[in-house]
Amino acid sequence: MTYTLEYKNISKAFPGVQALDNVSFKMSGGKVTALMGENGAGKSTLLKILSGDYQPDEGKILINGEEKRFRSPHQAIKSSISIIYQERQLVNTLSVAENLFLEDLPGNRLGFINKAELRRRTQEIIDTFGLPIRPTDIVGRLSVAYQQMVEIMKAYRRDSNIIAFDEPTAPLTDKEIVILFRVIQTLKEKGKIVIYVSHRMKEIFEITDEIVVMKDGHYVKTLQTAETSEQELVRLMVGRDIGDTYANLNRNDKIGDVLLEVNNLVTDYVKDVSFKLRAGEILGFSGLVGAGRTEVMRALFGADRIISGEIKLEGEVVHFRSPRDAIGAGIALCPEDRKEQGLILGRSIRDNVSMPVLLKVKKGVFLDVGQEEELAKEAVRRYGIKTPTTEKRVGELSGGNQQKVILGRWTSDKMVTKILILDEPTKGIDVGAKAEVYQTVCDLARQGIGVIFISSELTEVLGMSDNIIIMHNGRITGTLSREEATEERVLELAMLES
């Protein structure tokens, strides 16, 4: 049979925000349907209504023509619906096998878990995906990329009729993306309804059959992927033509003296890394997942132990025993995993933005809430964070807006930032906001701030960087200027055994 899913006159409001307004559209099985729109367009809210996380204020969901209302995610899963969110839904202290079969653990005749059968079934799925992990591996000890693949395998194991992927490739390497796309193609051939949410245009045109465009909580249009263009999509999503993003940037053309010098850095994950960052330079770091880019930055930020090597800041040798020391010296980090390492999800935008500068926003022994509020409002204005108030909990924001809160924190008027480390800074950010973030990064470089820019999107690294350092297996395998760098050359060095 051909499965159908229809959103009919769906509306959903939160305090101060109309997230969805009378949204209606239909999709069917045997196709991959993209759901596209800027952050705050309503994409995640639609998925959460489908999954039973949220209840609509008005309207209904029809599956195969029959009205369905899920009161919990458990009900949705039992009705053959799986949602893979940007933020992983895993139990980090359990094994890969236990996470995959958590609600359906195989038992033996005595009522105990049949561990041999559990491992066997899990290994079959791992083999299907071709991953170098084991059923017994503890999920919390895996890389972010492999954790994401476990999340995807969990949905695959359920063999659901409706599967939604929300920014699934953000932490994945090209190799893992190929695996994912092969799995999606298999689901499509089985007649499943596949919903695909991504801000990566290349992926949209590679994997999808049709595109549903959302804007400000409204349904805009359904397009056939083969019959549209990136320019048309951007106009429908953003309401304007953003042109050639990188060519239009106002860059810094006056790179200054050496600001940061790293000599022969060795950690548990990094081997003999040396490089220099100049004032006003955007220094890109490229490499496959596991290359060691993030680990270098954690060491610079005082988060990981340095075994040997030397770090000089403005010519002086520095020793950071903690991130607090690094922040005090003017080094800021936007981490790869914003949920686990970058934000306090239960606190407000205001609290998260002012966190590193609390000593500077005091009146006597008390915090000056007015100054905190001004910092938060400036972050909301500068980055276009979609929120009715700075008191909104960060955990209630979309993934892209959460990333903007981190950027707002490190670029506030109270921060004295000399070096800004951006690890996947546009992860989950829509195409219109990306252009704004890129220009902000260039503006910071023009102010003399040294920027380290890590991204898994190769076009982004090529488009943003003055110079690019390429890593493989914990070592630097090459350095290229913007003029020298091409996709082919960077990939060649990223796979080079040093």
Domain boundaries, given as residue ranges, for the chain: 4-238, 258-494
Give SS3 for 429: coil
The CATH architecture to which 258-494 belongs is 3-Layer(aba) Sandwich (3.40)
Q: How far apart are CA 289 and CA 169, in angstroms?
A: 12
φ/ψ of residue 422, rounded to 5: -115, 105
Q: How far apart are CA 468 and CA 453, in angstroms?
A: 9
Q: Regarding the domain delimited by 4-238, which CATH topology (the fold level of the hierarchy) does it fall under?
A: Rossmann fold (3.40.50)
Q: How far apart are CA 30 and CA 470, in angstroms?
A: 40
| Neighbouring C-beta atoms of residue 229, cutoff 10 Å | 11
In CATH terms, are 4-238 and 258-494 the same topology? yes
Contacts of 39 (CB under 8 A, 6+ apart): 386, 398, 399, 400, 401, 428, 429, 430, 433
Q: Would you give per-residue pLDDT tens digits along the chain (498 residues)?
A: 678 999 999 999 987 778 999 999 999 999 999 999 877 788 989 999 999 999 999 999 999 999 999 999 999 999 999 998 877 789 999 999 999 998 888 877 777 888 899 999 999 999 998 889 999 999 999 888 888 889 999 989 998 999 999 888 877 777 888 888 998 999 999 999 999 998 788 899 999 999 999 988 999 999 999 999 988 888 888 765 555 678 888 899 889 999 999 999 999 989 999 999 999 999 999 987 678 999 999 999 999 999 999 999 999 999 999 999 999 999 999 888 777 788 999 999 999 999 888 778 877 778 888 889 999 999 998 888 888 899 999 988 877 788 889 888 888 878 788 999 999 888 767 777 788 788 889 999 999 999 999 998 888 899 999 999 999 889 999 999 999 998 888 988 987 754
The two tokens of residue 272 are 């003999």
Q: How far apart are CA 403 and CA 334, in angstroms?
A: 8
Q: How far apart are CA 68 and CA 51, in angstroms?
A: 11
Q: How far apart are CA 465 and CA 463, in angstroms?
A: 6
**Quick check: pTM over 0.75?**
no
DSSP, residue by residue, 337-389: -IIIII--TTSBHHHHHHGGGGGGSEETTEE-HHHHHHHHHHHHHHHT---S-
The two tokens of residue 411 are 């670029």
